Amino acid sequence: MFTASRVRLLVVTCAALFMAMLDNLVLGVALPAIQQSFHATMSDLEWFMNAYTLAFSVLLIPFSLLGERIGRKRMFLAGVVLFTLGSALSGLSTSSIALILSRALQGIGGAAVVPLSLTLVNAAFPADKRAAALGIWSGISGLGLSVGPLVGGMIVEGAPWQLIFWVNVPVGVIAFLLGLKWLDESRGERRPIRISSVLLVAGGLFGLVFGLERGNAEGWGSAPVLVSLLGGAALLVLFYVWERARRLPLIRFDLFRNRQYSALVLTGFWMNAGIFCAIFLLTLFLQQAQGYSALGAGIREMAWTGCTMIAAPLAGLAVSRFGTRSVLSAGLLLQAVAIAGFAVLILTVGVDFPFGYQAPMMMAAGAGMGLSFTPLSHGILSSAPDGASGEASGVSNATRELGGVFGIAIGGLIFQSGAAVRTPADFGDHIVPSLFAGSAMIALALIGVLLFVRGAGRKPAPGTAANPSAASAPLHAETAG
C-alpha cells in the first residue's frame, strides 16, 4: 500500500510525534517524587506542567508558518533537536527553576514537531492514500497523549523520576539522524515574515492560555487573570486588524470563509475541550475515589487508549469509503454518550463499583477518539487549497490546544464549586456535573459537524482556492489538522 520511502517517513515523523505527545501528561504522576526531591512548592508543581503547555501552545502557529517559508524538514528536525535537548536538561535538573526552563524548551521543540510532522505526512502521500496515512498519524498522536500517565507510573514506581525524561533522548537522536537521511524537504508559499505580527499572535495566545490555566488557582475575577485574558484577546484582534490590510497576510483569513474549514477548526476546539475536561478528572477519579495507584490507574486507562490506537487507523480507511462527516459524527457521538454514561453510572451507583462496569464506556470513548482524530485532520486538509498546510496545521493545532486548556479549566471550576471534597463519595458528587459538561462540549462539536460539514469534502483543484471569493489568490499548500 505504501512505498518504502513513505513508510520511512511515517516511522520518523510518528516516532518524534509520539515522544512529543507523551510529554503532555507523563509528568503528572511523577510530581510527588519531584516535589520531595526539590522541596518544591505547589506553585512550582503547577509550573512544571504549565511551562510546557504555554510554550507549546504559543509557538504552534509561528513555527508552522516558519516551516512553510524556510522548509518543513528543517523546522521539524530543529524541533526534534530542541525537544531532545530539553528532555536531557530536564533529567539533569537539580532545582525547580532549572526544570521549569527545561520543560519550556521541550514545549518549544514540541511546537515544531507536532504540526510539521503532519504537514510532512500530508505532503508525501497522494490523495488516495492520505486518509490511511493520517489514520496512522492520528493513532500515534492519541496513543502518545493517552499513555503518558501509564508510562509515568511505570517509571516512577521502579526507577528515579529523571528517567521519564531520559527515555526521550535516544528516540530523539535516532529520529533526527534518520530524518536527515529519509525526509525530503518541502515548502509552502513563500510570504514575508513580519516580526511584529508574529509577536502579536504569540502574545495573544500566551495571554489566553495563561489566563485559562491560572483562572481556578487565582480566581476568575482576579486582576492577573482578567488582564491576561482580555489582553490576549485584544492582541489577537489587533493582529487581525493589522494583517487584514496586508496584500500577503501572515495567516490567510480567507480560508475561514470556507464554512467547512471553519466548522472543523471549531469542532477541534470543542472536541478537545470535552475530552480533556473528562479524562483529566477521570484519571483523578480512579486514584482518589477508587483507590488505585498511579500505575493501576494507568493500566486501566489502557481500555481507553488501546481502543484509540486501534480505531484511528481504521478510521482512515472508513473516511475513504464513508466520508469525513459520517465517520467524524460517529466518533463524536460515541465520546459524548460514553462520557455522559460515566456520569450516569456514578450518579446512580456511587463510586464503589468494579472496573468492569466502566470498561465498556472507556472503550467506547477511546474508539470515539480514534474515529474523530483522523477525519478531523483529513477534513481540514480537504477543505483548504494546496499550499497552506503548515499554516492550517498550526491554526488547527493551536485551536485544539486552547480547547484542551479551556476544558480543563471549566471542568476544574465546576468540580471545585460547592462543599469541600473530603471523601470518595464527595469526589463522585463533584465529578458528575463536570462529566456532563464535558459531554455537552463534545455534543456542540457534533452539532457543528452535522450542520456545516459535508460528506468527504473534496480538495480544490490545483490553483483554485477553497472558496470562490478567494479564487484570485495564488494559494498552494495542504492542510494539517
Cα separation, 190 vs 420, in Å, equals 55
Q: Which of 144-158, 183-197, 368-382, 388-402 has the highest mean pLDDT?
A: 368-382
Residue recorded with cell 499554516: 391
- What is the chain's length? 481
Cα separation, 33 vs 48, in Å, equals 13
CA angle centred on 435, ends 432 and 438, rounded to 5°: 155
**118 in Cβ contact with 377 (< 8 Å):** yes
**By three-state DSSP, how is residue 455 classified?**
coil
Each residue of 70-100: b (16+ CB within 10 Å) or e?
ebbbbbbbbbbbbbbbbbbbbbebeebeebb
pLDDT at 461 over 50: no
* Averaged pLDDT for residues 416-438: 89
Rounded alpha-carbon distances, angstroms, from residue 302 to 15, 158, 376 = 20, 19, 23
Cβ count within 10 A of residue 306: 18
DSSP state for residue 253 in the 8-state scheme? G
Cα separation, 339 vs 360, in Å, equals 11
Work out the mean pLDDT of the chain and round it to a whole number: 85
Rounded alpha-carbon distances, angstroms, from residue 122 to 14, 72, 133, 455 = 13, 11, 8, 20
* Averaged pLDDT for residues 266-283: 90
Residue recorded with cell 487565582: 218
pLDDT at 465 over 90: no
Helix H or strand E segment including 380: helix 355-383
DSSP state for residue 258 in the 8-state scheme? S
Predicted pLDDT at 223: 93
Helices (H), 125-258: 127-146, 148-158, 163-166, 168-182, 195-218, 223-244
Query: What are the pLDDT digits (tens) for 335-362?
Result: 999 999 999 999 999 999 999 999 999 9
pTM of the model: 0.81
Q: List Cβ neighbours of 404 (8 Å cut-off, separation of 6 or more).
A: 272, 273, 275, 276
Predicted pLDDT at 233: 95
DSSP state for residue 459 in the 8-state scheme? P
pLDDT at 477 over 60: no
Cα separation, 322 vs 372, in Å, equals 13
Predicted pLDDT at 1: 60
Cα separation, 225 vs 232, in Å, equals 10
From 244, 409, 294, select the one nearest 27 (Cα to Cα): 294
Cα separation, 265 vs 21, in Å, equals 20
pLDDT at 478 over 60: no
**71 in Cβ contact with 65 (< 8 Å):** no
Predicted pLDDT at 13: 94
Query: What are the pLDDT digits (tens) for 58-93?
Result: 898 889 888 888 899 999 999 999 999 999 999 999
Identify the sign of the CA torsion 157, 161, 167, 168: positive
Amino acid at 72: R
